Chains A and B, each alone.
Chain A
Amino acid sequence: MNVTSLRHRPAPRGPRFTAGRTVAGLAGVAAASLLAAACGTSGPSSSAPPSSSAKASASASASASVLVSCKSSTATKITFWAWVPGIARAVTAFNNSHPSICVTLEDVGAGSPQYVAITDALKAGTGAPDVAEVEFDELPSFEITHDVLNLVPYGANKYKSDFVPWAWQEVSQGSAVYAMPGDAGPMAFYYNSALLAKYHITPPTTYAQFATAAAALKKADPSAYITNFSATDLQWVLSLMAQDNAWPFTYTGGSKVGINWTGAAQTAFANYWQNLINAKEVNGTTDVSATSFADMDKGIDASWLSSAWGPSYFAPDAKATVGDWRAAALPQWTAGANVAANWGGSTYPVFKQSAHPAAAAEFSEWLNATDASWNITKTAPSSLFPTYLPLLNSSSYKDITVPISGSSHPDQAFTAAASSIKGVPWPPFMTEALTQANTVFAGVLDGKTTLLQAFKNFQNVLVSYAKAQGFTVSG
């Protein structure tokens, strides 16, 4: 089962999923459901006997909700919404070691469907979970409506030193901490070493070298591209923009937001990639898709500016190139610099609606800041990449080998990247931004518009949305 080896990545968004994710996703879900059916395990069942939780967690890779029965009838009941496959194992471990609290896990869908359900429950005033998985970029949307609890009174600050600083920064606002950081997706230059070696191309360490390598590869093999540039994947584009110091948002909470897709840094970023697009030196398909993975395996895409969770998504599709893939630091805009980027990852806030905030905070802290929890969630099928330093710094974690990378240690590049990331201020309307991006950036992939023009259009779309929502917008 491929799905069981998948690392966690940003959830598919909006009413539309990113295409490729879905083909694979639909097939995966179908396969997982078949497996679940074949094993005779059932998903949600209110009459499930206590022993069923283990069985249910085995099938948690299917998007079925899982109920975990309480150890004691007097235990404080906590509801937890998350979609990470296999996270039920951690919930069961928590319930076993904390008899006075009983956490019930519910999977109401990955990403957008869950956010919509939470938003609706918050509006209704009842029915929201106590704790939920919320991606880094989505957390500010719940902060601005004052729906998530400041965890500092519940002792969150004593875990601050356990986390990479940028992750802690992204869950904090001023002196408040609105969630516990969970997993992340540090990025690296993930490349087909055999293909580059064949044409005597050295893995680039700067973006200037990257452009030279792109041209050299095109010359050597006209059917090959240095990489794929997926303009419609806004989260990915934003990650690369963050690395280039071209982050288009400023936000520190409240009603003022800065939106700038047309500044000097953003324009330079757009022009750099548009030059490669014009020269047909980068491919233009949807990323994390059957198409992009096939292109990587056929030697069409020589590299992928990938997240730590990327390789485990690609691995099932890799056949001809197994053993050839290496990870190195992302190319740098300034030679000798060491700037990484993050793509994906989740946080675990406690909602104000919770009747038992202390117990809920205790669970969120245990889930994200203990070895006991990470020893479970780092393994398949959850395979979370930590922001939790004790695990991130352990050599046994860095030195894992996987068949697709031969005897190399790809996680060394990803773990190194984890501590060279700059935290970014996400604006409090990312669901809208991600949905609009699919439409605004679609023309870039098929050459109907330029990246720069798309940036300009996106600027107008976001500014008018933010203004309509009552924000004071600055450049």
Chain B
Amino acid sequence: MNGIASQAPPRPRGMRSLLVQSAWIHRRDRKGFWFVAPFLAAFLIFMLAPLGYAVYTSLYTTRIIGGTVFSGAANYTQTLQSGEFWSGVIRVVIFAAIQIPVMLAIAFFFATIFDLGVAKYGTFFRTVFFIPFAVPAVVGAVMWSFLLEPQFGPFVHFANGIGLHDVNFFSTNLILPSIIVIVIWEWTGYNMLILYTALRSVPRDVIEAAILDDTPLWKIILRVKLPMVRPAIVLLVFINTIGALQLFTEPLILAYFQNQAISINFTPTLYIYNTAIAGQQYNLAAAAAVILGLVIVVISVSSLVFRRRRSEVS
């Protein structure tokens, strides 16, 4: 595939043609506007307006006694000083530090196998591996909860069978590893597909040259292909980190099975949810949500800067 071939030839840059062109663009923009209008309306109503409302809400405090008063940055200082909020942040950082490398390693392994074409029925298995991603997180979490359940769960019976007695996947020590397993199961297929696509776009002549040089296969994979798909891996690391910070569904569902194992501030999003719903402290929750949002913005921007420095995006 040669991407350049599909581009239009450069236009003459005369003054006249430039004017004509810009007028044409303007006309086109007007029409185009109506095509993007539905999206813009939805974006405004369902993204920007709630965002603005959250910021507005976070500046007030509603109390059972005394009603609503303007409280400025009080909710922000309370959140920033709250051990509950930050212990949840630390937990998801630990979660990300383990889950993301393990998942990317597995995803890269399978992507390589499919890319090599050594597996029979590759297309079929690629689809099978992708299926967990198509399963809604709630359904996946409920399914895993039953699998790991300490009383009737098959995994506990299996652990008993191999001599590990009294294993409780929902205990305070094993709950985070359990969630890591669930999330890896859910997301490996998706990451694998992206890596597979990246591997497919590695120029064949480079690989051929390596083969002609008698490079062993493992070297081709780790020294040639892996560096060439690094932009995809970097992108996935950032996407998954942002996803980890928003970890919510899996612990929420597990809490239905074993509530003691999931504290109300288990993750930052659970803290926000519980503060708003159970505590009726919508203002405090809004401030925490804005802070979490800013953390994610910082990560996203640094991702962009990082990748731009390496000229991986323009």
A14 cross-chain contacts in B, Cβ below 8 A: 264, 274, 277-278
Q: Could you mark each residue 203-235 of chain A with 1 if its beta carbon is under 8 Å from any beta carbon of chain B, else 0? A: 000000000000000000000000000001000
For residue A435, which residue of chain B has the nearest CB?
B278
Q: Could you mark each residue 221-265 of chain B with 1 if its beta carbon is under 8 Å from any beta carbon of chain A, else 0? A: 000000000000000000000000000000010011111111111
**Contact residue range for chain A?**
35 or more
Cβ-defined contact, B151 with A442, below 8 A: no
Instruction: Tell me if A431 is interfacial: C-beta within 8 Å of chain B.
Output: yes
Q: Could you mark each residue 155-192 of chain B with 1 if its beta carbon is under 8 Å from any beta carbon of chain A, else 0? A: 00000000000000011100000000000000000000
- Cα A112 to Cα B63 in complex, Å, equals 20
Of A119, A255, A291, A439, which is within 8 A of B151 by CB?
Answer: A291
Chain A proximity of B94: nearest CB distance (Å) = 18
Q: Which of A236-244, A260-268, A357-365, A463-471 contacts B (4 or more CB under 8 A)?
A: A463-471
For residue B273, which residue of chain A has the nearest CB?
A15
Of A17, A428, A471, which is within 8 A of B259 by CB?
Answer: A17
Which A residues from 415 to 454 make CB contacts under 8 A with B? 428-429, 431-432, 434-436, 438-439, 441-442, 445-446, 448
Instruction: Tell me if A26 is interfacial: C-beta within 8 Å of chain B.
Output: yes
Which B residues from 197 to 229 make CB contacts under 8 A with A? none
Cβ-defined contact, A16 with B64, below 8 A: no
Instruction: Tell me if B66 is interfacial: C-beta within 8 Å of chain A.
Output: yes
For residue A141, which residue of chain B has the nearest CB?
B64
Instruction: Tell me if A104 is interfacial: C-beta within 8 Å of chain B.
Output: no
Chain B proximity of A336: nearest CB distance (Å) = 37
Instruction: Tell me if A192 is interfacial: C-beta within 8 Å of chain B.
Output: no
- Cα A14 to Cα B274 in complex, Å, equals 8
Cβ-defined contact, A17 with B256, below 8 A: yes
For residue B256, which residue of chain A has the nearest CB?
A22
Of A19, A112, A119, A435, which is within 8 A of B258 by CB?
Answer: A19
A18 cross-chain contacts in B, Cβ below 8 A: 259
For residue A448, which residue of chain B has the nearest CB?
B172
- Cα A471 to Cα B64 in complex, Å, equals 8
Instruction: Tell me if A347 is interfacial: C-beta within 8 Å of chain B.
Output: no
Instruction: Tell me if A116 is interfacial: C-beta within 8 Å of chain B.
Output: yes
A23-B280 contact given A294-B151, A446-B171, CB 8 Å threshold: no
7 interchain residue pairs of minimum CB distance = A470-B65, A435-B278, A442-B260, A470-B63, A16-B255, A470-B66, A16-B259
B residues near A, CB below 8 A? 63-66, 142, 149-152, 170-172, 252, 255-265, 270, 273-274, 277-281
29 A-B pairs with CB atoms under 8 Å apart are A14-B264, A14-B278, A16-B252, A16-B256, A16-B262, A17-B256, A22-B257, A23-B149, A116-B277, A144-B64, A144-B65, A145-B64, A286-B258, A286-B260, A291-B150, A291-B151, A432-B280, A435-B264, A435-B274, A435-B278, A435-B279, A436-B264, A436-B278, A438-B260, A438-B264, A442-B172, A442-B261, A446-B260, A471-B65
A residues near B, CB below 8 A? 14-19, 22-23, 26, 112, 116, 119, 144-145, 232, 255, 286, 290-291, 294, 428-429, 431-432, 434-436, 438-439, 441-442, 445-446, 448, 465, 468-471
| New contact pairs (5) apart from A290-B152, A470-B63, CB-CB < 8 Å | A15-B278, A19-B170, A19-B258, A431-B278, A471-B64
